[in-house]
């Protein structure tokens, strides 16, 4: 790893931490109903929305009512996304005349965007109309991100309040998350992306003339669209010439902005942010990476302000940042290393550029891989399938930690707070004292909820991979052996942790992958959110205890170290055997080929 790669990482982290502080304070004011600067401009819109929807925003909910409201909104969103895909052929804003989406792919996509996973079993520019991209996918990007932020706010209130069962109002939290946080940031980022050349238009595909006409053999098709065979059974062809290229465009900038800010990740184009129209310059590359982690990092400061002790937020942010920096360094090192196979053949080897955009290079591509898998984002600016075995393993392991190293918008913080509950429980066992977090006892119910939240994603990842290895379609994999196993493991690690990125060598549009993936995404989202809300409700009803000599301070370096250790031990060691069968075995095989 050279100085350039190290500079990329240090500069990015410093910029992220500097930007997260004021944003975190602003978001705290939004959730605490304090003046935030946009009240005069958006307050009327907010009140009008409540009146139109018949919502009493002042009526607070217990955790069960909060959960029911959350499930109801997400269920309606899922059905709407599915319906728009299936009907898009008969709906307007479809200049490319795209037909209805396959029912299995539509179902998988609806679940994917409702759960903030944004796993894509389709090519965006060749499958989704403008209306579907805007009304279904972009709108759901806002709502799924706002759902995570609302649940996070409810958990923080549960930790901060005492002797109550009220956690806030879900409809108010979602509305304010969209109006005062996600929408303003998305507008600013959209304008910046348009300035740099990202399209934002409702016109159809653009036609670009070739410098020289291209000649090729065109297959001859019959009336039904099937190839015509000659006497020997070979498909017939005829000479053809093409003088221009059709370039897909559309409302790209608006979708890219919220997909990054909301840690959604579903790209307008099939190759995501590796596409020159979705991510055209090094500046857009930096802005999009920063957008992915900005809100998750800022919410740590929001947490500190809302619980009345900013040090608590700094401690959680420190644990996230140290873990992220470590995994990013490992990824950068793996992708900067020389290929041992080429060295064994007596050839000079350089850092691998396979699957990477030259305008970003190894540093920009490897850093993005760490950023997108640390958050539950899933967008890519290079093909992880082409990374070295260890270069692909570290981003995969970042997902397998539970998407808590920054993690998704809202979901990353509430996931890390659950790990904090487990950390103080472990510390309590060590000293023989009832564990406490933020002055509240951690008792059997809280421990059970935390165990559910932590163990469900690994179960889905490992069981899904085992099922795919036994019953999945063999032709879905582009590679046999350890790399093929890594493709399956990466896919279920991504879907089982609501990330959405892929190795790019897996064909996931078959009924097996669309249905199995949808189940994994659905369970990993809602079977985690409901225990989180139950945990919040239980903590809200507890008394606050005075600190004593045996109380573990949860804002110092000792707790930060303990929290990181729990994340690594619980999250990482679960996957060591599976990683040994995939990327580790593939890495060792490189040396056998020397």
Would you give the DSSP letter of residue 96?
A: T
pTM of the model: 0.92
Note the residue count of the chain: 594
Pairing, β 436-437 against β 440-441: antiparallel
Segment of 23-32, 35-44, 472-481 carrying the highest mean pLDDT: 23-32
Would you give the DSSP letter of residue 227?
A: B
pLDDT surpassing 60 at residue 85: yes
Please give the Cα distance from 120 to 266 (Å, whole number).
7
Per-residue CA distances from 22 to 9, 19, 325 (Å): 21, 6, 22
pLDDT digits 0-9 by tens, 508-536: 888 999 999 999 999 999 999 999 999 99
Residue 442: which region, alpha, beta or left (left: phi > 0; alpha: psi -120 to 50)?
beta
The better pLDDT of the pair 144, 502 is held by 144
> What is the torsion angle, in degrees rounded to the nearest 10, for the CA atoms of residue 510, residue 514, residue 516 and residue 521?
160
Which of 375, 192, 180 lies closest to 297 in space, CA to CA?
Answer: 375
- Helices 103-114, 511-540: axis angle to 10 degrees equals 20
Which of 251, 227, 254 lies closest to 238 in space, CA to CA?
Answer: 227
Average pLDDT of the chain?
A: 91
Calculate mean pLDDT across residues 240-265. Answer: 92
Q: How confident is the model at residue 349, as a pLDDT?
A: 60
Residues 6 or more apart whose Cβ sits within 8 Å of residue 327: 370, 374, 394, 395, 397, 398, 405
456, two tokens: 């469900």
- Give the pLDDT band (50/70/90) at residue 316: very high
pLDDT surpassing 70 at residue 175: yes
Calculate mean pLDDT across residues 111-127. Answer: 91
pLDDT digits 0-9 by tens, 388-440: 899 999 999 999 998 899 999 999 999 999 999 999 999 888 877 778 899 89
Calculate mean pLDDT across residues 263-278. Answer: 90
Please give the Cα distance from 403 to 407 (Å, whole number).
4
């Amino acid at each position: 790893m050279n100085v350039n790669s190290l500079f990329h990482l240090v500069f990015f982290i410093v910029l992220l931490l500097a930007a997260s502080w004021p944003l975190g304070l602003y978001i705290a004011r939004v959730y605490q109903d304090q003046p935030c600067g946009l009240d005069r401009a958006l307050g009327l819109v907010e009140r009008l929305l409540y009146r139109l929807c018949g919502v009493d925003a002042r009526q607070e909910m217990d955790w069960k009512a909060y959960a029911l409201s959350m499930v109801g909104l997400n269920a309606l969103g899922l059905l709407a996304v599915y319906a728009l895909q299936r009907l898009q052929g008969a709906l307007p804003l479809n200049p490319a005349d795209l037909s209805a989406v396959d029912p299995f792919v539509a179902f998988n996509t609806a679940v994917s965007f409702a759960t903030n996973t944004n796993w894509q079993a389709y090519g965006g520019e060749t499958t989704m109309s403008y209306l579907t991209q805007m009304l279904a996918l972009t709108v759901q990007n806002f709502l799924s991100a706002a759902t995570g932020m609302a649940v996070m706010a409810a958990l923080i209130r549960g930790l901060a309040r005492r002797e109550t069962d009220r956690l806030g109002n879900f409809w108010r939290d979602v509305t304010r998350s969209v109006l005062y946080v996600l929408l303003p940031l998305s507008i600013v980022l959209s304008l910046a992306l348009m300035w740099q050349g990202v399209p934002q238009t409702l016109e159809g595909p653009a036609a670009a003339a070739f410098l020289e006409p291209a000649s090729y053999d065109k297959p001859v098709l019959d009336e039904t669209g099937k190839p015509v065979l000659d006497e020997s059974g070979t498909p017939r062809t005829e000479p053809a010439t093409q003088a221009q290229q059709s370039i897909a465009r559309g409302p790209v900038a608006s979708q890219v902005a919220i997909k990054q800010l909301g840690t959604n990740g579903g790209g307008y184009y099939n190759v995501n942010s590796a596409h020159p129209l979705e991510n055209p310059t090094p500046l857009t590359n930096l802005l999009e990476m920063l957008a992915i982690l900005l809100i998750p990092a800022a919410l740590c400061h929001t947490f500190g302000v809302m619980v009345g002790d900013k040090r608590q937020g700094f401690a959680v942010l420190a644990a996230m940042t140290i873990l992220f920096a470590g995994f990013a360094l490992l990824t950068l090192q793996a992708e900067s290393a020389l290929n041992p196979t080429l060295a064994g053949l007596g050839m000079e080897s350089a850092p691998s550029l396979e699957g990477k955009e030259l305008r970003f290079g190894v540093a920009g591509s490897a850093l993005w891989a760490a950023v997108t898998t640390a958050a539950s984002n899933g967008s890519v600016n290079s093909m992880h399938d082409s990374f070295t075995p260890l270069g692909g393993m570290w981003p995969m392991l970042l997902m397998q930690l539970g998407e808590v190293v920054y993690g998704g918008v809202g979901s990353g913080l509430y996931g890390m707070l659950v790990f904090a509950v487990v950390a103080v429980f472990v510390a309590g066992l060590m000293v023989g004292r009832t564990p406490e977090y933020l002055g509240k006892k951690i008792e059997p119910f809280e421990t059970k909820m935390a165990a559910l939240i932590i163990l469900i994603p690994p179960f889905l990842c490992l069981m899904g991979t085992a099922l795919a290895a036994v019953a999945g379609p063999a032709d879905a994999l582009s590679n046999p052996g350890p790399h093929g196993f890594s493709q399956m493991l990466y896919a279920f690690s991504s879907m089982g942790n609501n990330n959405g990125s892929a190795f790019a060598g897996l064909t996931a549009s078959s009924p097996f992958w669309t249905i199995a993936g949808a189940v994994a995404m659905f369970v990993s989202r809602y079977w985690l959110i409901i225990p989180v809300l139950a945990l919040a409700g239980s903590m809200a009803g507890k008394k606050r205890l005075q600190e004593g000599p045996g109380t573990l301070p949860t804002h110092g370096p000792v707790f930060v170290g303990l929290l990181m250790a729990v994340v690594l031990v619980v999250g990482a060691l679960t996957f060591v055997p599976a990683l040994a069968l995939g990327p580790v075995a593939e890495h060792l095989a490189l040396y056998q080929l020397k």
